Structure 1
Amino acid sequence: MAVHFTKKSKTLAKTLGEAWLDNLHMTGANFKNLKT
Protein backbone atom coordinates (compact mmCIF):
# COMPACT_ATOMS: atom_id res chain seq x y z
CA MET A 1 0.00 0.00 0.00
CA ALA A 2 2.70 2.48 1.03
CA VAL A 3 4.87 1.56 -1.95
CA HIS A 4 1.93 1.93 -4.32
CA PHE A 5 1.09 5.32 -2.82
CA THR A 6 4.69 6.50 -3.20
CA LYS A 7 4.78 5.39 -6.82
CA LYS A 8 1.47 7.12 -7.48
CA SER A 9 2.73 10.30 -5.83
CA LYS A 10 5.89 10.26 -7.96
CA THR A 11 3.81 9.84 -11.11
CA LEU A 12 1.55 12.70 -10.04
CA ALA A 13 4.54 14.90 -9.23
CA LYS A 14 6.07 14.11 -12.64
CA THR A 15 2.80 14.92 -14.40
CA LEU A 16 2.42 18.18 -12.50
CA GLY A 17 6.05 19.05 -13.15
CA GLU A 18 5.66 18.47 -16.89
CA ALA A 19 2.43 20.48 -16.96
CA TRP A 20 4.16 23.31 -15.07
CA LEU A 21 7.08 23.28 -17.53
CA ASP A 22 4.69 23.29 -20.49
CA ASN A 23 2.82 26.21 -18.94
CA LEU A 24 6.08 28.06 -18.30
CA HIS A 25 7.18 27.46 -21.90
CA MET A 26 3.83 28.74 -23.23
CA THR A 27 4.00 31.82 -21.01
CA GLY A 28 7.54 32.52 -22.21
CA ALA A 29 6.47 32.20 -25.85
CA ASN A 30 3.50 34.52 -25.31
CA PHE A 31 5.72 37.03 -23.52
CA LYS A 32 8.20 36.93 -26.41
CA ASN A 33 5.36 37.55 -28.88
CA LEU A 34 4.14 40.52 -26.84
CA LYS A 35 7.61 42.08 -26.76
CA THR A 36 8.08 42.02 -30.54
Structure 2
Amino acid sequence: MKRLLDALSRVWKLARILIVIKTVRDFMRDHFDDAR
Protein backbone atom coordinates (compact mmCIF):
# COMPACT_ATOMS: atom_id res chain seq x y z
CA MET A 1 0.00 0.00 0.00
CA LYS A 2 2.76 2.44 0.88
CA ARG A 3 4.55 1.84 -2.43
CA LEU A 4 1.31 2.60 -4.24
CA LEU A 5 0.91 5.87 -2.33
CA ASP A 6 4.53 6.83 -3.08
CA ALA A 7 3.99 6.18 -6.79
CA LEU A 8 0.74 8.17 -6.75
CA SER A 9 2.39 11.14 -5.03
CA ARG A 10 5.23 11.07 -7.56
CA VAL A 11 2.78 10.98 -10.49
CA TRP A 12 0.75 13.78 -8.87
CA LYS A 13 3.87 15.96 -8.56
CA LEU A 14 4.73 15.37 -12.23
CA ALA A 15 1.16 16.11 -13.30
CA ARG A 16 1.11 19.34 -11.28
CA ILE A 17 4.40 20.49 -12.84
CA LEU A 18 3.11 19.71 -16.34
CA ILE A 19 -0.15 21.58 -15.68
CA VAL A 20 1.76 24.62 -14.38
CA ILE A 21 4.08 24.62 -17.42
CA LYS A 22 1.11 24.32 -19.80
CA THR A 23 -0.75 27.15 -18.04
CA VAL A 24 2.31 29.42 -18.10
CA ARG A 25 2.91 28.70 -21.79
CA ASP A 26 -0.71 29.47 -22.69
CA PHE A 27 -0.57 32.67 -20.59
CA MET A 28 2.69 33.82 -22.20
CA ARG A 29 1.34 33.11 -25.70
CA ASP A 30 -1.83 35.13 -25.01
CA HIS A 31 0.20 37.94 -23.45
CA PHE A 32 2.61 38.22 -26.38
CA ASP A 33 -0.22 37.98 -28.91
CA ASP A 34 -1.90 40.95 -27.20
CA ALA A 35 1.36 42.94 -27.14
CA ARG A 36 2.02 42.45 -30.84
**Which TM bucket (shorter chain)?**
0.7 to 0.9
**Which residue number in structure 2 is paired with residue 33 of structure 1?**
25
Structure 1 consecutive aligned stretches of length 4 or more whose deviation exceeds 3 Å: none
TM-score by length of 1: 0.75
- Residue by residue, what CA displacement relative to the aligned partner does 1:1-36 show, whole Å, maximum 9, x if unpaired? xxxxxxxx1100000000001000000000000000
Alignment partners' CA distance in 1, 2:21 and 2:2: 28
Alignment partners' CA distance in 1, 2:9 and 2:21: 18
TM-score by length of 2: 0.75
Q: How many aligned residue pairs are there? A: 28
